Every structure is written in C-alpha cells, then in structure tokens.
C-alpha cells in the first residue's frame, strides 16, 4: 500500500523507514534541506544523525504530492501544528483512506485528542492512533519494540497492523482509542516530573513513586474520559510511561532533569530542535481535569513549573508535603 508520513522528525522518519521496508513510502518534510538529505544521502541528520535510511524511502516538501496518492496517511506533526497541516492537506487527501496519528498530545483550546482533530478536519476517514513505548533511536538501531494501533474499526486496525509492522517492531490492535491517546499524552507530563526528581538527585525510590502515582493519574483521567482501565496497564499506558520516564533518550525527561538542575524553561526549550509535548500538555490537561472533575496533583505541579510560577525544587517539596489520600488508588 502507498503510505505517506507527514512530519520528518525523529518518530515520523522512523515510522516512514519501517513502512518503506514493505510499502512504497513518501515522507513529507517542511524543511527542504531535510527532504534533500533523505533523497540524496538517505539520512536525516537534523533528527536521526548517524542512522542510514532505506534507499526506497522518498521525501518531498510538496504537501499535495505527498498526500494525493496515499492509501494510508500517517501524521507525525507536533500537536500545535497538527490541525494546520491537516487543513492544508485536506483538499488533496483521498476520501476513503485511514489516517493514523503519531502525535501524543491534546489540541489547546478545543481540548481535542488528535484523532478527534482528524475527524474534525477530514470527516469520513477512519482515524487511528499509534502509541506505545517507542523511542525512535532504539527502533532505528534494530532493537525490539512493541506498539498499539488503536481505532474503533478493528478490521481497519488489523490492516494497519499488517502495513506498519516490520521486523522486530510488533504492533497490537486495540479498540480503546481514548485510553491509548490519553495515556500517550499524559505520560509526557509525568516524565517531566520524573526528570525533575532525577535532576534533584532525590533517588530511585522517589522516581518510582512518581511513576506509580503518575500511572494513577493517567488512569483516573482516562477513565473519566471514557477509557478502559486495562488500557492504562498496557503498552500505551504503563509501557509508554516507563520508557518515557526512565530513558535518557526521552525529550520530556530531559526537560524535567534540566529543570531540576535549575535551568529556566525558556532556555531549555530554545536549545531543543525537537518538541517536548509534555510542556504544552501540562497546560491542556489541567483544563481536561477541571472539565471531568479529576484531581491530578502531579500534573498540576508540573504546570506551575513550566509556567514559571514556581521553581522545580519548590514544586517538588510541595508535592511531597501533601497529606496521603488514604487509599492507593486515590490522589497523591
């Protein structure tokens, strides 16, 4: 099947590389230098330096060319630009194709999940989400990994599973789109909290507590939004949470660690060439928490930190000073 991937960041390029092993695959890059590097040198030095891309993978900066011939459209654009790119592409997107989101976040203002944005901009298409513990550089290095393709139409999910699976990259199907998207978005915020604990050198016991209590927050919000609790114990919940919180490759964990060491958030973000979705998600998720009446104390503190209201050490002390809720399934 002809696959188009929109977004030539590290994860978009990785998924395009996996797809190119068995499908004609076209990668859309906004930056012409990235497109030229993919086509001429079979590399993406801006985001995946040191890795060789398949010779069969082609790239273009022409959005109409990228989407008009696609049979599967995969979108790996950051959440703040997701709608804009889809709106630009919409006149050229075939009416019947499935559209898969790689983006783990929420849209500011509407509070939409990315599949909801897809359905809003491209009505009539099957919207799906690919989510799981998927660190791009590990997958490009050939290490085994697993992910979940989530869509309510399991027949389409099975076909996407066949199209996107490759080698040691295993994909499972799931009908719980809400759970997979909430887990994928919220874990980035918890990863910032875990990174702060690392930056403050408060120990592995504390990091484990943050991860565990973070999973409880993922689950509470997800269930309130209609997710199934079991999803949060799977690849798109706990699996993604663990990988993002503990790996030095995680951008959100890196942001937290640098915050814990005292760096201002503006300087951290200015120095990064890739988006740390957890920073924006920390704001949006608290609006979702208010809408659904859910207490998310870790996320609340991270929003204060990334807003510049409090320093990371002050937020950490405030969080640890909270009285326990009594039962482990309750708030921190």
Looking at the structure, tell me whether residues 152 and 196 fall in a common domain: no
How far from each other are the two terminal CA atoms of the chain, in whole angstroms? Answer: 47
Whether 112 maps to a domain, the answer reads yes
Q: What is the CATH number of the domain that holds 148?
A: 3.40.50.720
Domain closes at, from 148, 175, 202: 175
Of 281, 252, 282, 106, nearest in space to 192 by CA: 252
Looking at the structure, tell me whether residues 232 and 121 fall in a common domain: no
Encode 116-154 in three state secondary structure: HHHHHHCCCCCEEEEECCCCHHHHHCCCCEEEEEECCCH
Q: What is the CATH number of the domain that holds 207?
A: 1.10.1040.10
Number of domains in the chain: 2
Whether 312 maps to a domain, the answer reads yes
Whether 238 maps to a domain, the answer reads yes
* 187 included as an active-site residue: yes
What is the pTM assigned to this prediction?
Answer: 0.93
Which ranges of 3-105 does DSSP label H, i.e. alpha helix?
A: 10-20, 32-41, 63-68, 79-89
Domain closes at, from 124, 149, 175: 175
Looking at the structure, tell me whether residues 204 and 128 fall in a common domain: no
Whether 95 maps to a domain, the answer reads yes
The angle at the Cα of 323, spanning 318 to 326, to the nearest 5 degrees, equals 140
pLDDT at position 274, please? 83
- Supply φ then ψ for residue 217, to 5 degrees: -70, -40
Domain closes at, from 175, 197, 226: 175
Whether 325 maps to a domain, the answer reads no
The angle at the Cα of 17, spanning 51 to 254, to the nearest 5 degrees, equals 55
User: Domain span at residue 7?
Assistant: 3-175
Looking at the structure, tell me whether residues 219 and 114 fall in a common domain: no
Whether 258 maps to a domain, the answer reads yes
pLDDT tens across 177-230, in order?
999 999 999 999 999 999 999 999 998 998 999 999 999 999 999 999 999 999
pLDDT at position 322, please? 59
Q: Please give the Cα distance from 77 to 74 (Å, whole number).
A: 9
Q: Which of 41, 137, 187, 261 is catalytic?
A: 187
Residue bearing tokens 């609340």: 300
Whether 332 maps to a domain, the answer reads no
Whether 331 maps to a domain, the answer reads no
pLDDT at position 319, please? 73
Query: Could you read off the pLDDT tens digit of each residue along the chain, which spans 332 residues?
Result: 999 999 999 999 999 999 999 999 999 999 999 999 999 999 999 999 999 999 999 999 999 999 999 999 999 999 999 999 999 999 999 999 999 999 999 999 999 999 999 999 999 999 999 999 999 999 999 999 999 999 999 999 999 999 999 999 999 999 999 999 999 999 999 999 999 999 999 989 989 999 999 999 999 999 999 999 999 999 999 999 999 999 999 999 999 999 999 999 999 999 998 888 999 999 999 999 999 999 999 999 999 999 999 999 888 877 776 555 555 555 44
């Amino acid at each position: 099947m002809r696959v188009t991937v929109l977004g030539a960041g590290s994860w978009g390029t990785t998924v395009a590389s996996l797809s190119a092993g068995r499908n004609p695959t076209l990668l859309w890059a906004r930056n012409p230098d990235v497109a030229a590097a993919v086509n001429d040198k079979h590399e993406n030095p801006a985001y995946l330096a040191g890795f060789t891309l398949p010779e069969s993978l082609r790239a273009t900066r022409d959005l109409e060319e990228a989407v008009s011939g696609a049979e599967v459209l995969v979108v790996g654009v950051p959440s703040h630009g997701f709608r804009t790119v889809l709106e630009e592409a919409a006149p050229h997107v075939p009416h019947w194709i499935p559209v898969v989101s790689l983006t783990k976040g929420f849209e500011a203002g509407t509070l939409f999940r990315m599949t909801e944005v897809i359905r809003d901009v491209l009505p009539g298409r099957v919207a799906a989400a690919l989510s799981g513990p998927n660190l791009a550089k590990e997958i490009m290095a050939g290490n085994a990994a697993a992910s979940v393709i989530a869509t309510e139409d399991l027949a389409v999910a099975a076909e996407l599973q066949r199209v996107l699976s490759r080698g040691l990259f295993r994909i499972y199907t799931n009908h719980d789109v809400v759970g997979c998207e909430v887990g994928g978005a919220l874990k980035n915020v918890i990863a910032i909290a875990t990174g702060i604990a690392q930056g403050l050198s408060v120990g592995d016991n504390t990091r484990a507590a943050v991860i565990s209590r973070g999973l409880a927050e993922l689950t509470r919000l997800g269930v309130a939004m209609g997710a199934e609790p079991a999803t949060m114990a799977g690849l798109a919940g706990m699996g993604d949470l663990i990988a993002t919180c503990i790996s030095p490759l995680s951008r959100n964990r890196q942001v937290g660690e640098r915050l814990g060491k005292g760096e201002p958030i503006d300087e951290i973000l200015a120095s990064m060439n890739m988006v740390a979705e957890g920073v924006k998600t920390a704001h949006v998720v608290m609006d979702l928490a208010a809408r659904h009446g859910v207490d998310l104390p870790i996320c609340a503190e991270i929003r204060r930190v990334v807003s510049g209201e409090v320093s990371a050490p002050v937020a950490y002390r405030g969080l640890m000073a909270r009285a326990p809720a009594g039962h482990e399934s309750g708030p921190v």
